[in-house]
Amino acid sequence: MQYGLALKLRIWLGFADAGGAWPAQAIPHPAQAAIDDVLKLYLTRPRYNSPMDNSMPLPEPPDFGASPRHATRQVAIGGVKVGGDAPVVVQSMTNTDTADVASTVKQVSELWRAGSEMVRVTVNNAESAAAVPRIVEKLTMMGIDVPLIGDFHYNGHTLLTNEPACAQALAKYRINPGNVGFGKKRDTQFAQLIEFAIQYNKPVRIGANWGSLDQSLAATLMDENAQRAEPWDAGRVLREALIRSALDSAHRAVEIGLPADRIILSAKVSGVQELIAVYRDLAARSDFALHLGLTEAGIGSKGVVASSAALAVLMQEGIGDTIRISLTPEPGQSRTQEVIVAQELLQTMGLRAFTPMVTACPGCGRTTSEFFQELAGVVQNHVRERMPEWKIKHPGAENMTLAVMGCIVNGPGESRHANIGISLPGTGEAPAAPVFVDGEKTVTLRGENIAQEFIALIDEYVETRYVAIID
């Protein structure tokens, strides 16, 4: 055992002479024994001498991948299954006036073509309720079979009473327990909506939201909290109110006669940490299917980052059966962006596959040309546009991986890891772009038609590697 470090430490602390010995003294320094004991523990600790030292077993690596899914009851919504062993489902919501049938049909079709598996529409007045059956009819005529969810607040019981065709046409009802009714009317109006769900064999989502929380429940919990020996902070009381609002309403629905496998719960807030805490608790206290979403997530990158941060943590823990990314669209931006972000989140986490993903380097001083950035965008847009056809004719193409790299540093390596990859020349490199297919270099592209030629290679790969289904 070498005590070089011990000697240096003694000298540095002034407890030893230049030779490292403890100074002669009638009474040992009080720190002497303690320092020696600590140093001996440190110097005799288990350690690896080198990567080739096999004298000690390597520790077991941590588990890789998401946790097992939280066990929930499976709910059928039209032809879509949510919860249980079903994959996490992507849904979206229109922002058209539902009474405007043409505009709503157009937007629903766009969301569906982008990959939304369920679409929610606002049903807030007699005109929108009357429009729902016509919207469903037109979508059916277009060959679009997507479950339409009615979003009700305040007056859903009245609208479904007056428009039974709407109650029949919708695939699911969304009920907000915070505004379904107030005072003595609350229980009656909630019961009416549940009875419609029973009558027409429809599932419901009971969705609590901290922006429209049941104030009577919140007040009751505040009073209870004041009596605690150690009161909770206001945030915890708010979270408990959200959870209780959802759970109490779900249990009431079951008492009325709605089967538990026709109930989905949500409890939405706009804070990332609050959402994670609420859903962890909600999952621990029930086996109802859960809808995830960060309400009022925001505009642009802020909304994408906030939603992704919250939902990724929960889904990594196995929590969540259906998701919506609630983005505020920028002026002129397509509503389909929320669908794309939801799909990319699930695919990036390895939970589902929707469309081939493109790996592309961020660029640096070695890639002063913007061509590799432009090509990455062209490739991603191309595969996304082709995916609806490939999904039908070439199942499995959604799992394909692509790489568009900008220079020789990581380009060939990343390209070999992909099913198809191209390594473009960086600054000062020879004007040649080797292409790798399943790890093997197959061709080198040159000239002005690199983009078109690479796209053609991708199409050829799909045609030959993924078994075609004949119409």
* Cβ proximity of 282 and 290 under 8 Å: yes
244 and 176, same domain (yes or no): yes
Start-to-end C-alpha separation, the chain: 76
154: left (phi over 0), alpha (psi -120 to 50) or beta: left
171 and 312, same domain (yes or no): yes
pLDDT of residue 370: 80
273-308 burial string, b = 16+ CB within 10 Å, else e?
A: ebbbbbbebbbeebebbbbbbbbebbeeeebbebbb
CA distances from 363 to 372, 374, 405, 414 (A): 9, 12, 9, 14
Beta strands 289-292; 89-93: pairing state: unpaired
- What is the residue-wise DSSP string for 79-132? TEEESTTSPPEEEEE--S-TT-HHHHHHHHHHHHHHT-SEEEEE--SHHHHHHH
Interval 305-330 mean pLDDT: 95
427 and 338, same domain (yes or no): no
pLDDT classification of 371: cutoffs 50, 70, 90: confident
29 and 93, same domain (yes or no): no
Higher pLDDT, 289 or 40: 289
Structure tokens that stand for 462 in this block: 């799909």
Structure tokens that stand for 465 in this block: 């590697």
pLDDT classification of 26: cutoffs 50, 70, 90: very low
Rounded to the nearest angstrom, the gap between the alpha carbon of residue 28 and the centroid of all alpha carbons in its chain is 63
Does residue 61 form part of some domain?
A: no
- What is the residue-wise DSSP string for 17-74? -TTSPPPP-SS--TTHHHHHHHHHHHHTS---SSTT--SSPPPPPPP-SPPPPPP---
Is 364 one of the annotated binding-site residues? yes
Q: Which of 246, 240, 311 is nearest to 278 (CA)?
A: 240
Reported as half-sphere exposure (CB side, CA atoms, 13 A), residue 379 has a value of 29
Does residue 53 form part of some domain?
A: no
Interval 25-46 mean pLDDT: 61
Beta strands 75-77; 80-82: pairing state: antiparallel
Size of the chain in residues: 471
Per-residue pLDDT tens digits for 80-108: 999 999 999 999 999 999 999 999 999 99
Interval 374-386 mean pLDDT: 94
Does residue 380 form part of some domain?
A: yes
Structural domain harbouring 24: 4-43
Does residue 470 form part of some domain?
A: no
Q: Which of 4-13, 28-37, 419-428 has the highest mean pLDDT?
A: 419-428
* Cβ proximity of 419 and 461 under 8 Å: yes
Q: Look up residue 397 and give its DSSP letter.
A: G
- Angstrom distance (rounded) from CA 192 to CA 267: 22
Per-residue pLDDT tens digits for 117-159: 999 999 999 999 999 999 999 999 999 999 999 999 999 999 9
312, 331, 348 - which closes a domain: 348
pLDDT of residue 40: 66
Interval 253-275 mean pLDDT: 97
Does residue 407 form part of some domain?
A: yes
pLDDT classification of 167: cutoffs 50, 70, 90: very high
255 and 205, same domain (yes or no): yes
Per-residue pLDDT tens digits for 230-243: 999 989 999 999 99
pLDDT of residue 28: 56
Cα dihedral 379, 385, 389, 390 in deg (nearest 10): 30
Q: Which of 309, 344, 312, 307 is nearest to 324 (CA)?
A: 307
- Angstrom distance (rounded) from CA 355 to CA 115: 10
Strand partners, 81: 76
Beta strands 322-323; 298-299: pairing state: unpaired
427 and 280, same domain (yes or no): no
348, 365, 389 - which closes a domain: 348
107 and 154, same domain (yes or no): yes
Is the pLDDT at 27 greater than 60? The verdict is no
37 and 119, same domain (yes or no): no
Q: Give me the CATH number covering residue 200.
A: 3.20.20.20
Q: What is the pLDDT of the chain when averaged over all its residues?
A: 89
Q: How many domains does the chain have?
A: 3
pLDDT of residue 299: 85
Q: Look up residue 332 and give its DSSP letter.
A: T
pLDDT of residue 53: 55
Structure tokens that stand for 284 in this block: 């621990």
Does residue 424 form part of some domain?
A: yes
Number of neighbours of residue 35 by Cβ within 10 angstroms: 17
Structure tokens that stand for 398 in this block: 């959604």
Does residue 49 form part of some domain?
A: no
Q: Give me the CATH number covering residue 441.
A: 3.30.413.10
pLDDT classification of 164: cutoffs 50, 70, 90: very high
Instruction: Tell the burial category of 233 from Cβ atoms under 10 Å away from its Cβ (0-12, 13-18, 19+).
Output: exposed
Does residue 221 form part of some domain?
A: yes
255 and 400, same domain (yes or no): no
214 and 362, same domain (yes or no): no
In the chain, pLDDT over 70 holds for what percent of residues?
A: 85
pLDDT classification of 1: cutoffs 50, 70, 90: very low
Span of 18-22, 307-311, 418-422, 444-448 with lowest mean pLDDT: 18-22
308 and 454, same domain (yes or no): no
Is 166 one of the annotated binding-site residues? no
365 and 339, same domain (yes or no): no
Is 414 one of the annotated binding-site residues? yes
